[in-house]
Amino acid sequence: MKGRPKSRPFFISSSDSYPAFLIFTALNRKLKIMAIIKPFRALRPQPALAKEVAARPYDVLNSKEAAEAAAGNPNSFYHVSKSEIDLPEGTDIHSEAVYAKAAENLQNLQTSGTLFHEEQPCYYIYKLVMDGRSQTGLVCASSIDDYNKGIIKKHEFTRPDKELDRINHITTTRAQTGNVFLAYNDVPELNTLISHWQQNQRPVYDFTAEDGISHTIWVVNEASVGDEITRLFAEKVPATYIADGHHRAASAALVQKASGEDINSDANLNYFLTTIFPASELAILDYNRLVKDLNGHSKEDFLSRLEYDFTVEAVGHHEQKPAMLHEITMYLDHTWYHLVAREGTYSADPIGILDVTILQNNILDKHLGIRDPRTDKRIDFVGGIRGLGELVKRVDSGEMQVAFALYPVTIQQLFDIADSGNVMPPKSTWFEPKLRDGLLTHLI
């Protein structure tokens, strides 16, 4: 079945044989509201092999790190997501050989029985626990039509080179191996339903990875429960928000567009792999900056210039995290400084109020000559998961000259910016913990 026939009346009776998600899809597309999701037949590992298969997202580690992580483990999903590790050293990671090797390795994992294809479409519940804090999301297939129409909201620009990499990976493997992390405003009925399933069913996967993060997954394989999940999203969730995975989402949409597939059909190609979390369970970490030089200024001149827009206080050698909004901490010449933005250095609009914008406009651009942080080679970014020690190490080594630590963006700020149709400055948010690749793959 490829979708609702065009000649068929819009209203669908309960006696029709259409899957529930197609009924809700038809209703939603007619009304142009609410989120469209559906269950899918995941390609997933045998339970005993889940920990061996699970891999960190492809874009959070380099080829050398992936090779070390996969050493001696033929079941590691890095052989698919970072397949250059199985080719001669120095191979261009964007070459055709790398994508072909990924497809070969994915097929081998299926042929060996390490991975198997779910017999029926299911939803999946994915719980992560890190440092005692847990978050639980729904793994599903989200509509590319929703992405195109802005029901799935974005807050970052994407780069064509990164899109092309994922396009080539998807089209060669015929699979979406990277999960897109979405968020939504809490729906109590959904929270209750998901919690009830967790309490009354055994998980299929339950392990703690080497980094101490635990991963637990349940399969929702009862049609009535799946239908209720679909209905609740159709009725209660007007929008979802991309938290992490803008390039994965954009690439899936471009693959669909290039295929010529009817967007109104239920083809797998019209959906992409997502895990959707309620906003109340999410935490955003800081995303910090390092700069190679002071743009020709002496330390004394640079500090003096900062006082036009900030109160500047030297606070010693111990690591200093910002304690509130509009406070930035800076590490320069073995000393930490508190920089508090003066009134008038920022606006009240959703973008202008962000600390990353204050830093960009009043320090990076104004004094350090970094106008486009996406392309300038003098700046680097460090996710808060690495801690302030990483900033200190790289400045003290002489690799960088100055570091800036930022107060984290809130989930509500992210929602406000996405709702306004604006985008955040690059590298504004860092989400932890990360979903693992390989546990649930969406075949197209």
Question: Per residue, what are the HEC states of 320-380?
Answer: CCCCCCCEEEEEECCEEEEEEECCCCCCCCCCCCCHHHHHHHHHHHCCCCCCCCCCCCCEE
The candidate with the shortest Cα–Cα distance to 440, out of 227, 222, 126, 134, is: 126
Q: Output the average pLDDT for the chain.
A: 91
Amino acid, res. 346:
Y
The stretches of 260-343 forming alpha helices (DSSP H) are: 299-306
Question: What was the pLDDT predicted at 164?
Answer: 95
Give the pairing type, strands 240-244 and 152-153.
Answer: parallel
* Lookup: tokens for 194: 């998901």
Cβ atoms 142, 253 nearer than 8 A = no
Residue range 377-402, pLDDT digits in tens? 999 999 888 889 999 999 999 999 99
Distances (CA, A) of 66 to 70, 83, 213, 316, 387: 6, 9, 18, 38, 21
The CA angle 220-123-110, to the nearest 5 degrees, is 100
Mean pLDDT, residues 333-337 taken together: 97
Question: What was the pLDDT predicted at 223?
Answer: 95
Amino acid, res. 207:
F
Other Cβ atoms closer than 10 A to 426: 17
Question: What was the pLDDT predicted at 28?
Answer: 52
Helix axes 246-259, 160-173, angle to 10 degrees: 60
**What is the pTM (predicted TM-score) of this model?**
0.83
Q: What is the DSSP letter of 424?
A: P
Q: Which helix (H) or strand (E) holds 444?
A: none
Q: At residue 124, does pLDDT exceed 90? A: yes
Task: Phi first, then psi: give them for residue 266, nearest 5 degrees.
Answer: -95, 20
Cβ atoms 403, 331 nearer than 8 A = yes
Q: How far apart are CA 365 and CA 281, in angstroms?
A: 35
**3-class DSSP state for residue 187?**
coil
The neighbouring-strand residues paired with 183 are 241, 277
Residue range 274-284, pLDDT digits in tens? 999 999 999 88
For 350-372, b/e burial (b = at least 16 CB within 10 A) is bbebbbbbbbbbbbbeebbebee
Q: Which helix (H) or strand (E) holds 410?
A: none
The neighbouring-strand residues paired with 208 are 214
Give the pairing type, strands 327-332 and 43-45.
Answer: unpaired
Mean pLDDT, residues 185-195 taken together: 95
Residue range 40-67, pLDDT digits in tens? 999 999 999 999 999 999 988 999 999 9
Q: At residue 25, does pLDDT exceed 90? A: no
Q: Would you list the domain boundaries of the chain?
A: 1-283+431-444, 287-407
Question: What was the pLDDT predicted at 33?
Answer: 63
Q: How far apart are CA 158 and CA 140, in angstroms?
A: 23
**Which residues, at least 6 apart from 334, have a Cβ–Cβ distance to it below 8 Å?**
317, 396
* In this structure, CATH architecture of domain 287-407: 2-Layer Sandwich (3.30)
Q: Where are any strands of DSSP class E within 123-178? A: 123-130, 133-143, 152-153, 175-176
Cβ atoms 404, 394 nearer than 8 A = no
Cβ atoms 122, 223 nearer than 8 A = no
Cβ atoms 275, 137 nearer than 8 A = yes
Task: Phi first, then psi: give them for residue 349, nearest 5 degrees.
Answer: -75, 165
Chain-centre distance for alpha carbon 269: 20
For 259-270, b/e burial (b = at least 16 CB within 10 A) is eebeebebebbb
Confidence of residue 11 (pLDDT cuts 50, 70, 90): very low
Q: How far apart are CA 243 and CA 431, in angstroms?
A: 8
